[in-house]
Structure 1
């Protein structure tokens, strides 16, 4: 009896599903025993990923510049595993990066998974940003991942496999006002990350470019603020705290790790980020119309105050609104993710 076209269609769909499953299984990376380096993991999203990867049985190396933060992060990881390293390293310094990679190699062997997560954020009007602000952002978000990848590649190529995860941002796809140094540097990382994906793929090294929107990591208190400091910090921290607009850090970390395990090339995190990426793809420039409106609602420049161009930390720019219930979720995340050290309170 001849199969109907509907049955043939069902067979074809089933075959495609099975083939996709086998392909995903082939690309799947078991985490247990893997040597994983996460930059900027002494607090925030990096620390959340370090905790989750440690629980999965990976050998996790974390790095950061602040020894007090590094010690606090190591104490958290020590409650989950004995297979971790905490390394004091400024990832914008090539020599320190080389020394860190050598230290990991001596201790465990080659880095099998590199997660470029280190980041800084400067918030304020374009007029108050200077050349050094852009230089710092580009050093952290582009040159640091560039040098780390160059150091990790020989070992990955020799083993015939590897994973590289670059935490970009939705600001690496669309340019929101009052975040220009951050945006410019994330565009550079996004271009580099997607550019190397196919080239490294032939060596079975899979690159994942991550485009998160706002995440409730607790990091706003440590951002750099210029201009009308309290008002700039207020819009950023409130936005970072609102459910629907921002994403839970633990969920974001789990999605990033899953994407890495299966070698997914690109992942957007959070509905606003996914919508912005989709809209930009369908109607290029449409997001700029929204940003025109947003810019009119953001604080303006300050000409009369000498300190308007000075950089204040988020925790130095608190106001009643940033201490209100509107920001409670971010405040809770600060405590979980090592963002509130005693010296900063």
Structure 2
């Protein structure tokens, strides 16, 4: 009855109805305003908290495997600017010494060691020497890696074994060696440099891609299990980066064509990222304790597509494979990138890789 009376009143008095509607709209607007204000306050609080808890590299001891050249060296340069004390290792003594001299000339405190991280006993010794030299270790960056390019029928079991040794066993050795130290201190950061090839199987990179898949799984699992001990693990997923690394890649199949294609893609801004930008992004992810960082838009897109439409993504990779060179006679032999140089891989289209190689101790 009251509803009918109100209805009659509104029917007779359009102004009352308008006021009711206006009041209702005003209440909704106020509610939405408060909700927006609350969301903004939450975001601001989160941003302030992130900055307040941001990891400070000043005075921290950072070990970088494969730190004598390429991305490892670029990260070492940037971390040194932030006041970190650097330990780096590589299998090549000359490269290690060049990296040490350069970093020390920049004012960095550096411990440079020649180590094969695929040998567990050498890794144990490495960790002990770093801790013995600096007194402790704060951050481990598993960056050491190799890449072998060529069609699957040019690859032998040894290529897969080498890739697994450097991309799976070596990070496992280093993590096993440092985890007790980090647990004792109640803190520590581990950074694993994986690859988009560890999210999407890339043609002509099967040993690399398979081993990077294993590394991604290892890194994600370590993150989940070590959080309760105050140890943060960050999985880094790069795309191609202009570090100059093609020069030291291992090439099989049609060597000159495979290398020229690799070097062209590595030089192109459409397919590769500035390694200095990549290094800054990685360091920022560690500062904020991020679980995973995918470095490029294209890599993020490929990861999403692989997750939601794997059949479509596989079709794209299969199509791409049709345009890659087939194996040739003698393709089972392995050459380094610099041994596969030809007129195809020289010129303006690949000069960015040549410059990066000079800048980042890849020569």
TM above 0.5: yes
Encode CA deviations 1:79-116: one digit per residue, 9 max, x unaligned.
Answer: 12241110110000111111111111111122210000
- 1:289 aligned to 2:312? no
Aligned mate of 1:248, from 259, 267, 274: 274
User: Structure 1 residue aligned with 2:361, among 328, 338, 342?
Assistant: 338
In structure 1, the residue matched to 2:180 is 154
Query: Are residues 1:184 and 2:210 paired?
Result: yes
Name stretches of at least 5 consecutive residues in structure 2 with no aligned partner. Answer: 1-25
Q: Aligned partners of 2:311, 2:289: CA distance in 1, in Å?
A: 30
Runs of 4+ with deviation above 4 angstroms = none
Alignment partner, residue 21 of structure 2: none
The counterpart of 2:244, out of the listed 188, 204, 218, is: 218
The answer to whether the 8 Å contact 1:244/1:271 transfers is no
Query: Is 1:310 matched with 2:336?
Result: no
Structure 1 unaligned residues grouped into runs of 5+ = 341-345
Counterparts of 1:286 and 1:23, CA distance in 2: 41
CA deviation digits over 1:238-275, x for unaligned, max 9? Answer: 11110121000000000000001111111111222121
1:166-245 alignment to 2 at 5 Å? Answer: 166-245=192-271
Return 269-278 or 15-24, whichever deviates more.
15-24
Determine if contact 2:115/2:126 at 8 Å carries over to the other structure.
yes
Contact 2:154 2:252 in 1 (8 A): yes
Alignment of 1:18-167 (within 5 A): 18-167=44-193
Shift of 1:276: 0.5
1:18: how far off? 2.9
Task: Describe the shift of the 1:132–1:260 C-alpha distance in structure 2 as closer, same or farther (beyond 3 A).
Answer: same
CA shift, 1:197, in A, is 0.9
TM-score (norm 2): 0.90
For residue 26 of structure 1, report the CA deviation from its aligned partner. Answer: 4.9
Of the two, which has the highest radius of gyration? 2
DSSP-derived class of the 1:30 partner: coil
Task: For residue 12 of structure 1, report the CA deviation from its aligned partner.
Answer: 1.4
1:283 CA displacement: 1.6
Which position in structure 2 is the counterpart of 1:16? Answer: 42
User: Which residue of the partner structure matches residue 326 of structure 1?
Assistant: 349
Question: In the aligned structure 1, how far is the partner of 2:49 from the partner of 2:304?
Answer: 26
Counterpart residue number, 2:16: none
Partner SS state of residue 11, structure 1? helix
Distance 2:226 2:154 in 1: 39
Matches of 2:120 and 2:181 in 1, distance apart?
Answer: 18
**RMSD over aligned Cα, in angstroms?**
1.4
Judge conservation of contact 2:148–2:251 (CA < 8 Å) in 1: yes
The whole-number CA distance in structure 2 between the counterparts of 1:242 and 1:90 is 32
Residues 41-97 of structure 1, C-alpha deviations (whole Å, 9 max, x = no match) = 110000000010011100010000100111111111011224111011000011111
Aligned residues: 337
